């Protein structure tokens, strides 16, 4: 570890110091006005913010979407007022009036930074460790796009990813996982500044966090330096050190004092509670501000950033010219660039999908792997990987190479057994732009990565989550590996679409629908076991099925010959089970309809009349799914039945396990008879 002291001074120190104090004043004023917020970090990291935004960040507030901008991630999202203050001073479209409305209804300054709401905010943070993982994803995509698009003398992708992370971020396992992978991949343009204030909510970090963080990051392969986080010259020198080499990610351990310069310096309560009116006034007096005025920004601070803004604009214009030159000399690359940044989906993508034939049962994970590979041929920006389960989840892109340190031309990522980091990194990749990321693991391990799935949904990121081994049909591996509640738990997340296709063809159609959705994440839930390829009727059967899948539900089969006695509703591997039962019911004189529901979210979003028609209302319903009933109850209705799994699974050969928990044709048939009001035939 390098220890960097203040050897580099600058004429800018006086103004940067003023910038830092302005950030302090804006932050405490906003928090005081809201009577809510976290002053500790903005006060403690004001110098870090001033040096970073004042001297180093390569961005253009007039063009927040500049593809080659540096990304700055405030992983410690509770310090949002640091970021809002700096965005305001830098000249983003975030006026003082928004800072005055900090944490108020419909302001641009919510309690934690929210992506898509506030210009300049690169990701939604707050749940600790997530931003750190996002940043690893951003730095990874930077390296991948640079490899893909840069040409000699024409480096159209060349930017850094900066993170400000706190003690809490670095205690979370997700950041450990992400840091290990970043070190492995030697992401040399990732720079993390660690706000080591040694205070957490319960008190000093001596209570729970006494590890040697610097040594830990060195063990991951990072380069580490330590610095006084309030010393502008030392911070500048540390950042100069960090940008001088791109052979490894950098951690700058900045020793700071929480709530620096205030009465509550070094106190845990400064973390998340307003300082109080008197302490704010005292702080202002100490800083040379008028205690009776709020949200005061010295004119020289605005002037300083006016100058900066001109320089930033110039940088962006220089890049734009470079990019136009590059476009002119590499029109095909430019075409690919446009396609990648817009996530353009060719209209004839459907024709690239593999065909699957009846008479040849195949697991939907295997079918999914074929579909994913076919899609990847047409979408060069589709990249992804697995948390060390690709041979099982079947998501490896054949012939597309692996991404490794110095080998960023590959399209297959090896996340290691790090589901949580995988999720956060996928989000960061999508946030960066220029790629469409996917990641896979077993459905049961979606529990390891719920926080980033939730954030992907909240941010409406077009991430594809692929979850295989989706029920007790996992078999011998037993209850720890058999999901029963996970479908329901995923479907509970707003704005996430969960696909559980019934067979190979539905899998292709579901992938197509998920790829076409670009305003939110999708989860593909696939079987381990082989399932029949369901019969299609009529010459346009395949087209109608694809349309039905896209709409979330469709009539797969119907006995005919009269009104429907019972409607069977099923998903995934239980559709063929329902079909079997429906056919047997027909022999008993019960006319059943089978409705396949590959995507419950879309089914629910249908106009109610349409949904009722699909269900052949008022026919009683039998719902079949290898999981808990919870979210299906509303659909079953009082006369309906649910055949599912309301218990943990068990270790046994798959068919026996399924039988043991009651996933049998007999049980479905019995439910059909009951619903139809008939005794066993």
* Ranges within 31-50 binding its own copies (CB under 8 A): 34, 36-37
Examine residue 656 and tell whether it contacts its own copies (CB under 8 A). Answer: yes
Angle made by CA atoms 29, 32, 15, in degrees to the nearest 5: 20
Alpha carbon separation from 541 to 438, 508, 534, 555 (Å, rounded)? 30, 14, 11, 11
**Quick check: is 419 catalytic?**
yes
Rg, Å, the chain Cα set = 28
Q: Do 441 and 420 form a contact (C-beta atoms < 8 A)? A: no
Examine residue 168 and tell whether it contacts its own copies (CB under 8 A). Answer: yes
Cα–Cα distance for residue pair 166/550, rounded to 1 Å:
43
Give whichever of 268 and 534 is closer to its own copies, judged by the CB atom.
Answer: 268
Going by C-beta distance under 8 Å and a sequence separation of 6 or more, which residues neighbour residue 206? 198
Query: How is 81-149 classified by DSSP, letter by letter?
Result: HHHHHHHHHHT-S--HHHHHTTT-TT-S--SS--TTTSTT--S---STTHHHHHHHHHHHHHHHHHHHH
Give whichever of 232 and 564 is closer to its own copies, judged by the CB atom.
Answer: 564
Examine residue 22 and tell whether it contacts its own copies (CB under 8 A). Answer: no
What is the footprint of its own copies within residues 207-226 (CB under 8 A)? Answer: 207-216, 218-221
Cα–Cα distance for residue pair 456/436, rounded to 1 Å:
13
What is the footprint of its own copies within residues 449-478 (CB under 8 A)? Answer: 450-451, 454-455, 457-458, 475-478
What is the footprint of its own copies within residues 376-395 (CB under 8 A)? Answer: 386, 388-392
Give the one residue of 183, 229, 233, 274 binding its own copies; rule: CB under 8 A: 183
Examine residue 607 and tell whether it contacts its own copies (CB under 8 A). Answer: no
Examine residue 406 and tell whether it contacts its own copies (CB under 8 A). Answer: no
Joined tokens for residue 310 = 């001109």
What is the footprint of its own copies within residues 333-362 (CB under 8 A)? Answer: none
* Residue in this structure with the two tokens 């058999």, named with its chain if needed: 482
Examine residue 631 and tell whether it contacts its own copies (CB under 8 A). Answer: yes
The CB-of-170 to its own copies minimum distance in angstroms stands at 9
What is the footprint of its own copies within residues 429-448 (CB under 8 A)? Answer: 444-445, 447-448
What is the footprint of its own copies within residues 110-139 (CB under 8 A)? Answer: 110-112, 114, 124-128
Q: Round to the nearest angstrom and report the end-to-end CA distance of the chain.
A: 78
Joined tokens for residue 83 = 């970021």
Give whichever of 257 and 481 is closer to its own copies, judged by the CB atom.
Answer: 481
Q: What share of the chain is helix, strand, coil (3-state, %, to 5)?
A: 45, 15, 40
Give whichever of 216 and 255 is closer to its own copies, judged by the CB atom.
Answer: 216
Give whichever of 558 and 660 is closer to its own copies, judged by the CB atom.
Answer: 660
Examine residue 605 and tell whether it contacts its own copies (CB under 8 A). Answer: no
Alpha carbon separation from 285 to 29, 165, 528, 562, 651 (Å, rounded)? 14, 30, 67, 85, 69
Choosing from 32, 419, 497, 506, the catalytic residue is 419
The CB-of-102 to its own copies minimum distance in angstroms stands at 9
Cα–Cα distance for residue pair 184/385, rounded to 1 Å:
16
Examine residue 174 and tell whether it contacts its own copies (CB under 8 A). Answer: yes
Number of shown-chain residues binding its own copies (CB under 8 A): 113
Considering only the stretches 236-244, 362-370, 640-648, 661-669, report the one whose residues sit in contact with its own copies under the rule CB under 8 A: 640-648
Joined tokens for residue 180 = 């290990």
Examine residue 628 and tell whether it contacts its own copies (CB under 8 A). Answer: yes
What is the footprint of its own copies within residues 532-591 (CB under 8 A)? Answer: none
Cα–Cα distance for residue pair 261/438, rounded to 1 Å:
45
The CB-of-172 to its own copies minimum distance in angstroms stands at 6
What is the footprint of its own copies within residues 507-536 (CB under 8 A)? Answer: none
What is the footprint of its own copies within residues 259-278 (CB under 8 A)? Answer: 268
Catalytic residues: 419
């Amino acid at each position: 570890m390098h220890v960097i002291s203040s050897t580099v001074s600058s004429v800018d120190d006086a103004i940067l110091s003023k910038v830092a104090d302005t950030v302090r004043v804006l932050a405490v004023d906003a928090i005081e006005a809201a009577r809510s917020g976290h002053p500790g970090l903005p006060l403690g990291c004001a110098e870090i913010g001033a040096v970073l935004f004042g001297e180093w960040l390569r961005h253009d507030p007039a063009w927040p979407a500049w593809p080659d901008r540096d990304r700055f991630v405030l992983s410690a999202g509770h310090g949002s007022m640091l970021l809002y203050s700096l965005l305001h001073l830098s000249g983003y479209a975030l006026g003082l009036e928004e800072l005055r409305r900090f944490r108020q209804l419909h302001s641009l300054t919510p309690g934690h930074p929210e992506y898509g709401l506030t210009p300049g905010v690169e990701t939604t943070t707050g749940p600790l460790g997530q931003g750190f993982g996002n940043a690893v994803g951003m730095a990874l995509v930077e390296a991948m796009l640079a490899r893909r698009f840069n040409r000699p003398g024409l480096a159209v992708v060349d930017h850094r990813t900066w993170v400000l992370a706190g003690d809490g971020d670095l205690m979370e396992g997700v950041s450990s996982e992400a840091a290990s992978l970043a070190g492995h991949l030697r992401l040399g343009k990732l720079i993390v500044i660690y706000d080591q204030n040694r205070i957490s909510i319960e008190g000093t970090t001596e209570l729970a966090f006494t590890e040697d963080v610097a040594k830990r990051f060195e063990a991951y392969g990072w380069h580490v330096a330590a610095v006084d986080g309030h010393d502008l010259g030392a911070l500048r020198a540390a950042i100069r050190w960090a940008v001088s080499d791109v052979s490894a990610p950098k951690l700058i351990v900045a020793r700071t004092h929480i709530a620096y310069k205030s009465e509550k310096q070094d106190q845990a309560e400064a973390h998340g509670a307003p300082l109080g009116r008197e302490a704010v006034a005292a702080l202002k007096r100490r800083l040379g501000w008028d205690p009776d005025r709020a949200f005061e920004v010295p004119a020289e601070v605005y002037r300083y950033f006016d100058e900066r803004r001109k320089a930033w604009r110039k940088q962006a214009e220089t890049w734009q010219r470079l990019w136009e030159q590059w476009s002119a000399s590499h029109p095909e690359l430019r075409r690919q660039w446009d396609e990648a940044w817009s996530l353009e989906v060719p209209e004839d993508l459907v024709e690239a999908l593999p065909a699957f034939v009846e008479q040849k049962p195949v697991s939907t994970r295997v079918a999914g792997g074929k579909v994913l590979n076919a899609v990847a041929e047409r979408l060069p920006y589709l990249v992804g990987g697995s948390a060390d389960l690709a041979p099982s989840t079947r998501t490896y892109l054949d012939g597309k190479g692996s991404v490794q340190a110095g080998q960023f031309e590959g399209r297959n990522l090896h996340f290691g057994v790090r589901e949580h980091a995988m999720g956060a990194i996928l989000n960061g990749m999508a946030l960066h732009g220029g790629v469409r990321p996917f990641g896979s693991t077993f459905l049961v391990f979606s529990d390891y990565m719920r926080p980033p799935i939730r954030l992907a949904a909240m941010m409406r990121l077009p991430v594809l989550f692929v979850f295989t081994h989706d029920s007790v049909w996992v078999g011998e591996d037993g209850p720890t590996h058999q999901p029963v509640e996970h479908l329901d738990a995923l479907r509970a997340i707003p704005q996430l679409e969960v696909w559980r296709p019934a067979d190979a063809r539905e899998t292709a159609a579901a992938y197509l629908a998920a790829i076409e959705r670009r305003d939110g994440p999708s989860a593909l839930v696939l079987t381990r076991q082989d399932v029949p390829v369901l019969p299609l009727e009529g010459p346009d059967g395949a087209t109608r099925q694809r349309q039905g899948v896209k709409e979330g539900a469709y009539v797969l089969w119907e006995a005919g010959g009269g009104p429907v006695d019972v409607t069977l509703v099923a998903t995934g591997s239980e559709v063929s089970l329902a079909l079997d039962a429906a056919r047997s019911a027909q022999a008993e004189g019960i006319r059943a309809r089978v409705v396949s529901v590959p995507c419950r979210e879309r089914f629910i979003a249908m106009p109610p009349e349409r949904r009722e028609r699909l269900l052949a209302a008022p026919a009683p319903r039998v719902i079949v799914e290898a999981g808990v009933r919870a979210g299906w109850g509303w659909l079953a209705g009082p006369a309906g039945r649910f055949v599912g799994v309301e218990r943990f699974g068990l270790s046994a050969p798959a068919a026996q396990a399924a039988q043991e928990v009651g996933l049998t044709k007999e049980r479905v048939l019995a439910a059909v008879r009951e619903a139809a009001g008939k005794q066993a035939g």
